A and B are shown apart, each in its own frame.
Chain A
Amino acid sequence: MNLENVLLVSALIFAIGIYGVLSRRNVVTVLMSLELMFNAVVVAAVAFARFTPSAGLVGSAGTVEVEALRGALTGHAFAIFVIAVAAAEAALALALVFAMYRARETVEITDAATMRH
């Protein structure tokens, strides 16, 4: 397990998500593929936090400030924000799907290409 291998897995999940978003015609499946892409990005962020050093830790001689150690986990903070945005997106998008289903009795994307009533 090194940085390249984790990035490989992350890229695979992201590519699968792209395929799902572009090819599926059901809105809910497209949303699921979007969540997969969010997840792939978070995996990459955590992998960089795990395998690459933060600036404060390189070239310091003898002592390391505690603040520099905190900088080593910036990727984790980034992951928290992405997860929060993804959760907000999921709630709002599913509400939109329901609204669309109520208005036009369909959840197929091609049927909803226009937003008119």
Chain B
Amino acid sequence: MTGAFETPIAADIVFWLVSVLTVGAALLVVTLRDVFKAAVSLAVSFVGVAGLFFLLQAEFIGIVQILVYVGGVSILIAFAVMLIRDMAGGSLPVRKSQGVAAATVATLFFAAIVFTSYSADWNRIDQIDDPAAVAGLVGAYTEREVMVNGETVRVVEPADPSDPAAQPGVLIDSTGVVGTLLIREYLLPFQIIGLVLVASLIGGLMLMRTRSEEA
């Protein structure tokens, strides 16, 4: 099963294309004077990041990214730009000293992250040699129940290679796995995040409310 985790050349090409699109759009966001054009390129950058998620075999995160960011946050920002008259003339130009300082901090941060990520000795998925684990990760597996110390445990084992449904490929059903994770391991954070969302939306409404005596 060696090579099951290697990405095909075509995926590499698509990855670099999507990366260039995403980074280019992100650069436009921070350089364009026109705030509305910046908001549009922010939406393009969000779509690019969604593409990265699909390439990383995270379909569910990719779809959430499109729903929440492209469909929600971008629209919210576009509305803000349109409602605030002040923005019609564009953003004030960046002060030279401030721009240099910001670029320096950003470059140092970038250098630190890149140095760390290339020099660290990450645990690699290629190091997995257990055939059952490989089969589980590439989706070519079946589940079976076995008895361990009197308890029933569901285990994974490589599927019959002749079964066309069990060919190595995308991690099958990552959506279902993420759903199970959220309602088992992370149930409390999941509930709290809902509370945070409701609280922030109500807080936003309270901030926006015009009192009747003012209006």
Q: Interface on A for B, CB 8 Å cutoff?
A: 1-26, 28-29, 31-33, 35-36, 39, 42-43, 46-47, 49-53, 57-70, 72-74, 76-77, 79-81, 83-92, 94-99, 101, 105-108
Contact = CB atoms under 8 A, between A and B. Distances in A.
7 contacts: A1-B12, A12-B110, A22-B102, A35-B46, A39-B49, A53-B133, A97-B84
Interface in B132-160: 132-133, 136-137, 143, 146, 153-157
A50 B56 contact: yes
A69 B35 CA distance: 44
Interface of B: 7, 11-12, 15, 19, 22-23, 26-27, 29-30, 35, 38-39, 42, 45-46, 49, 52-53, 55-58, 60-61, 64-65, 68-69, 72-73, 76-77, 80-81, 83-84, 86-87, 91-92, 94-95, 98-99, 101-103, 105-107, 109-110, 113-114, 117-118, 122-125, 127-128, 130, 132-133, 136-137, 143, 146, 153-157, 171, 174, 177-178, 180-182, 184-186, 189, 193, 196-197, 199-201, 203-205, 207-208
Mostly, the B contact residues are helix
Contact of B137 (A4, A25, A36, A69): A69
B84 A28 contact: yes
A52 B86 contact: no
* 5 shortest interchain CB distances as A-B pairs: A22-B102, A20-B30, A95-B204, A23-B102, A15-B110
A1 B207 CA distance: 45
A76 B52 contact: no
Contacts of A97: 80, 84
A63 B146 contact: yes
A28 B81 contact: yes
B42 A35 contact: yes
B208 A29 contact: no
A25 to B, nearest CB: 5
Contacts of A14: 109-110, 113
A64 B106 contact: no
A28 B87 contact: yes
B24 to A, nearest CB: 10
B132 A63 contact: yes
A94 to B, nearest CB: 5
Given A11-B117, A63-B146, A25 B60 contact: no
A13 B22 contact: yes
B193 A16 contact: no
B18 to A, nearest CB: 9
Contacts of A63: 132, 146, 155-157
Given A91-B204, A92-B203, A80 B178 contact: yes
A58 B128 contact: yes
Nearest to A69: B136
B129 to A, nearest CB: 9
Given A11-B110, A32-B38, A73-B177, A98 B92 contact: no
B29 A65 contact: no
Contact of B156 (A3, A69, A79): A69
A4 B196 contact: no
